[in-house]
Chain A
Amino acid sequence: GAVVSQHPSRVICKSGTSVKIECRSLDFQATTMFWYRQFPKQSLMLMATSNEGSKATYEQGVEKDKFLINHASLTLSTLTVTSAHPEDSSFYICSAFRAVTGELFFGEGSRLTVL
């Protein structure tokens, strides 16, 4: 089946530093990828839609200058959390849309802890 790989799975960083998370679709091309954030015991919250070759579309309330998204190829999207603060600690999950089947597959998630 389709596989979406996300890296790193866990990251701990100091407040004020930046963290990059990668999302790769391994066996299909994804023109559209999505980035979600999930706080404990809450549902997935869509942060932004990443479109290959164009600017990402951010959901209301998500700071585009803080959460930088780059979708430079059909198999890779990256999310960079800039100047991270403890309140940015969360589970970040990417997903890739497989157009052929109309299905969305998720990466394994990245747990960010900002000290």
Chain B
Amino acid sequence: QKEVEQNSGPLSVPEGAIASLNCTYSDRVSQSFFWYRQYSGKSPELIMSIYSNGDKEDGRFTAQLNKASQYVSLLIRDSQPSDSATYLCAVILTGGGNKLTFGTGTQLKVEL
């Protein structure tokens, strides 16, 4: 099992819809989770960090964490074409110091 797993997609949603991106991780005691957005040819940009079970909202973005299920998700409300990018889930694994382990990313396409 990979340490951080994401569906590679592409995930296609119509403009204005909710995009749901999912991520599972293998380390039961991981405490820090992050979502990054990466446009083609660009470096990743931090969108959200989440450390506690439940939901964390920031504008159109909501991160959801369920440590019991080892599952973290990102919801994007009112999706816009400019949201089309690859979304990377990242986890700080136990014993990894401050080192992030990334999933392979999910490509999101928001269609007009």
Q: Do A and B form a real pair? A: yes
Which residues does A use to contact B, with CB under 8 Å?
Answer: 6, 32, 34, 42-44, 46, 49, 91, 93, 95, 97, 99, 101-109, 111
* A108–B44 CB distance below 8 A: no
* A106–B43 CB distance below 8 A: yes
> How distant is the Cα of A32 from the Cα of B101 in the complex, in angstroms?
15
* A108–B42 CB distance below 8 A: yes
* B99–A49 CB distance below 8 A: yes
Residues of chain A within 8 A (CB-CB) of B105 are 43
* B97–A32 CB distance below 8 A: yes
* B43–A107 CB distance below 8 A: yes
Q: Chain A: interface secondary structure?
A: strand
Of the residues B43, B98, B103, B104, contact of A97 by C-beta under 8 Å: B98
User: Residue on A with the closest CB to B51?
Assistant: A102
Taking the nearest CB of chain A, how far is it from the CB of B104, in angstroms? 4
* A34–B102 CB distance below 8 A: no
> How distant is the Cα of A90 from the Cα of B51 in the complex, in angstroms?
32
Taking the nearest CB of chain B, how far is it from the CB of A35, in angstroms? 12
Residues of chain A within 8 A (CB-CB) of B98 are 32, 97, 99, 102, 104
> Taking A43-B102, A43-B104 as contacts, is the C-beta distance between A102 and B43 under 8 angstroms?
no
User: Residue on A with the closest CB to B101?
Assistant: A46
* B99–A103 CB distance below 8 A: no
> How distant is the Cα of A6 from the Cα of B44 in the complex, in angstroms?
13
> How distant is the Cα of A39 from the Cα of B49 in the complex, in angstroms?
25
User: Residue on B with the closest CB to A108?
Assistant: B43
